[in-house]
Amino acid sequence: METNTKVVEYHLEASAFRWQISSDKIIEAWGFNKQVPGPELRANVGDTVVVKLTNNLHEPTTIHWHGIRLAAGMDGTDAVQKPISPGETFEYRFVVPDAGTFWYHSHANETVQMERGMYGALIVEDPTEEIITDAERVFIIDDMKVDAKGVFTKPRWFIPRVVERHDGRQGDTLLINGKENPIIQMFAGHRERWRFINASSARYFVLDLGGREFSIVGTDGGLLESPRPVTSQLITPGERFDIIVGPFEEGEVFTMDSLPYNRMTFLKAKRENFATIHVGPSAPSVAHVPHTLRAITQLAESHAEINRRVVLSVGPSLKDGMDFLINGSAHVNDKPVKVGELQVWEVVNASLMDHPFHLHGFFFQVVEENGLKPAFTAWKDTINLKPRSKVRIAWMPDNRPGTWMYHCHILEHHEAGMMANFEVVADDMPIREIKAHTHKHHH
Ligand code: C2O
Ligand code: CU
């Protein structure tokens, strides 16, 4: 068989190490190759990516390749893989079929492992793409809940514990690429592409560049159809946005902030500073951003008939103060879907707080939002739902049968039960057999 795909190989080591986040703060991080974020992985569209992961932590781990349309067995969830024990090595191998800003992160004990830094970027480039910029940067947003000495803090008493479970863990130590308030130097006159990834547990990041306009050119599943000029953009946990910034003038100094966003938590929303941009001397620009980036075919009409409802809710619980549910239950096994059968799901947020809904392994299009057709078409894998809101999403299960999942990307909500596994089944597979296999709590 003739194939011209290149193999791109990486070796990642998961371990605990000390990581300097600012001149006076060192944390006990967990991460990949002793850095936070882990190494930036890059490949071209169509390449085969091979990642050997050696686990040198004291507990099992896995990696989930967030946004990559890979085979189910490589998805990194405990439904498809035995977590990698300390001392063991596992080889992930998959083709990257789409260009875009993706990321990898631990999918085991996430509220601890991701909190401590187990994440990194996976950038898939398309050499034929027409956007040309003067520079490209990846910004991974995170926050940590550490004390003045850099020690991770956990709520000890019932009420603070309930608050953290309700709100998700949100810390005051704000990080861009593992550093507190970094300074970003750029040339005057340049236009750059900035790829944002929100790797935090629960922070709703509303990107603001001192009120300056920027253009969104891509999101979770790659480019939009055309650039969208905005002055701020909400990026919820799990989401990605590619933007074009500049040109700026020599001597300009401004901050990269997150604007207040009220996601109905106990925590009060406020404006917070993540980084500072210094614009230096001017340099010639070669940037070119076309008006048409690509065409995206609409998967379904906005009123297309629904074949599933997924209801996210939060209910009181005696044990933990709060339960986070899918269709009324915690940690759900949802019905299977068939390869090739268009899925139109209504995802409903029946609770009084926001949730970022994430589907593993497949991109969807939001075809309706609270009864309205969205202003533009995009490929997404994570979408925020405001309190008491609903979206209709359309997605196509292509021929990658196996166990997949969806969940709220606020890690504490996912852990508390706002998640479901489901099977994608090939047409000729007997559904009942597969279902019996996935009901692991059934005796
Ligand atoms: Cu980035 Cu299961 O998620
Ligand atoms: Cu949630």
What pLDDT digit, counting tens, does each position of 416-427 carry?
A: 999 999 999 997
Contact predicate 173/144, CB 8 Å: yes
Across the range 70-94, mean pLDDT stands at 97
Separation of alpha carbons 402 and 396, rounded Å: 14
- 3 pLDDT above the threshold of 60: no
Task: Locate CATH 2.60.40.420 in the chain.
Answer: 7-125, 135-282, 308-437
Amino acid (one-letter) located at 5 = T
Atom of ligand 1 nearest to the CA of 77: 2
> Which numeric CATH code is attached to 308-437?
2.60.40.420
For residue 330, the number of C-alpha atoms closer than 13 Å in the C-beta half-sphere is 14
Report CA(64)–ligand 1 centroid distance (Å).
Answer: 6
- Among all bound ligands, the one having the nearest atom to the CA of 122 is 1
- In b/e form, how buried is each residue of 378-401, taking b as 16+ CB within 10 angstroms? bbbbbbbbbeeebbbbbbbbeebb
Separation of alpha carbons 258 and 84, rounded Å: 36
Separation of alpha carbons 210 and 217, rounded Å: 20
Separation of alpha carbons 99 and 123, rounded Å: 8
CB of 66 closer than 6 angstroms to any ligand 1 atom: yes
Atom of ligand 1 nearest to the CA of 66: 1
Atom of ligand 1 nearest to the CA of 405: 2
- pTM passes above 0.75: yes
CB of 392 closer than 6 angstroms to any ligand 1 atom: no
Amino acid (one-letter) located at 435 = K
Residue-level pLDDT at 147: 84
> Which numeric CATH code is attached to 135-282?
2.60.40.420
Backbone angles phi, psi at 162, to 5 degrees: -65, -40
- CB neighbours of 157 closer than 8 A, spacing ≥ 6? none
Backbone angles phi, psi at 161, to 5 degrees: -65, -45
- Among all bound ligands, the one having the nearest atom to the CA of 411 is 2
- 1 pLDDT above the threshold of 60: no
What does the DSSP 8-state code read for residue 383? Answer: E
Separation of alpha carbons 152 and 143, rounded Å: 11
Q: For all residues of the chain together, what is the average pLDDT?
A: 93
What pLDDT digit, counting tens, does each position of 25-61 carry?
A: 999 999 999 999 999 999 999 999 999 999 999 999 9
Nearest-Å Rg of the Cα atoms of the chain is 21
For residue 116, the number of C-alpha atoms closer than 13 Å in the C-beta half-sphere is 23
- 380 pLDDT above the threshold of 50: yes
Separation of alpha carbons 158 and 162, rounded Å: 6
Report CA(42)–ligand 2 centroid distance (Å).
Answer: 30
Class in CATH terms, 7-125 = mainly beta
- 316 pLDDT above the threshold of 90: no
Separation of alpha carbons 314 and 166, rounded Å: 9
